[in-house]
Amino acid sequence: MAAPRPSSAPVQLARGVYQLRNLVAKPVYWWYERRLRRKVRTGGKLPQHLGLILDGNRRFAKAAGVQREIGYEFGIDKAHEVLQWCLELGIPAVTIWVLSTDNVKRDPAEVAHLMKLFDREARNLARDPRIHGNRVRVRAIGQHGGFPDHVLDALKELEQATASYQGMQLNIAVGYGGREEIVDAVKVYLQHQAEQGATLEQAAEGLGPDDISARTYTAGLPEVDFIIRTSGEIRMSGFMLWQSVYSEFYFCDVYWPGFRWVDFLRALRDYQGRKRRFGK
């Protein structure tokens, strides 16, 4: 495990209360979880590329009567936990959406706090034995032009530390928007065509879906086949617009920090029970 994350007394107290509640409930779910896990492992194909929209951190904090910042700390804890679940099940590629381009426009104090968390967690992941032991390649995808230098340095350190790995491919979508991704892909395509001496008319004539796919942030990975969103919101909010054309979706009422192993197994079991048609 990575070095313990520095936490204030309120965060430690909130974590303790939450862990105690989970400990009390664990015997109730133990048998059910074990049964579900066995069904998931033997029940069919797992997603090759899983998308996770980590929604509900602030509402979790409000419902628990704690500060908003504590909700984000719980959300980080849960992201580490779900990463471990994905490793245990052998899911090859995972993209988690932690900050949208719209989120960057929130209250500056809140955004500054989030940037500190991204800095801290990127550096922790760069040293996490699970990442190196499982040879997880981590990439930060999105638009990071307005990020502070210390955050950019931390994200670069994380990517460089895992660049040679061929295990799970973990994308952290931060400063990410689906429309922006498509625009960026078109820009890269046009720049490439201009470098080859093509006119604008020639570039437009030659543009096809494969040209966009090859220039998305997740180029080279399978298109996302299963997307889970927590918090009860039944919308995509622009997540992986290009890659999700044939995705299966699962919307879970629980807020992200409260997302349990049993919730994850239920989602995967639901996915395994679907017949995918790919538009046919």
CA neighbours within 13 Å on the CB side: how many for 155? 23
Residue 1 marked ligand-binding? no
Contact 80, 156 (CB under 8 A): no
- Is 43 annotated for ligand binding? no
Q: Is 229 annotated as a binding residue?
A: yes
Does 55 appear as a known binding residue? yes
Would you say 168 and 86 are in contact if contact means Cβ atoms under 8 Å apart? yes
User: 236 a known binding residue?
Assistant: yes
Tell whether 106 is in a known binding site.
yes
Query: Is 159 known as a binding-site position?
Result: no
Q: How far is CA 114 from CA 61, 68, 111, 146, 158, in A?
A: 15, 11, 5, 13, 17
100 among annotated binding-site residues: yes
Residue 8 marked as a ligand binder: no
Q: Is 276 annotated as a binding residue?
A: no
Catalytic, out of 77, 103, 184, 211: 103
59 annotated as ligand-binding: yes
Cβ neighbours of residue 120 closer than 8 Å, sequence gap 6 or more: 5, 6, 154
Q: Is 124 a catalytic residue?
A: no
CB 125 within 8 A of CB 80: no
Could you tell me the two tokens for 40? 């998931």
171 is catalytic: no
**The two structure tokens encoding residue 61:** 């904090």
Tokens of 24: 């009390």
Residue 41, annotated as binding a ligand = no
Give 198-201 contacts, CB < 8 A, sequence gap 24+. Answer: none
The alpha-helical segments, DSSP class H, found in the chain are 9-42, 57-64, 68-89, 108-126, 129-133, 149-162, 178-195, 200-206, 209-213, 261-272
Q: Is 44 annotated as a binding residue?
A: no
Please report, in range form, the residues annotated as the binding site for Mg(2+): 55, 248
Catalytic positions, please?
55, 103
Residues placed in the known binding site = 55-60, 68, 100-102, 106, 229, 235-237, 248
Residues annotated within a binding site for substrate? 56-60, 68, 100-102, 106, 229, 235-237
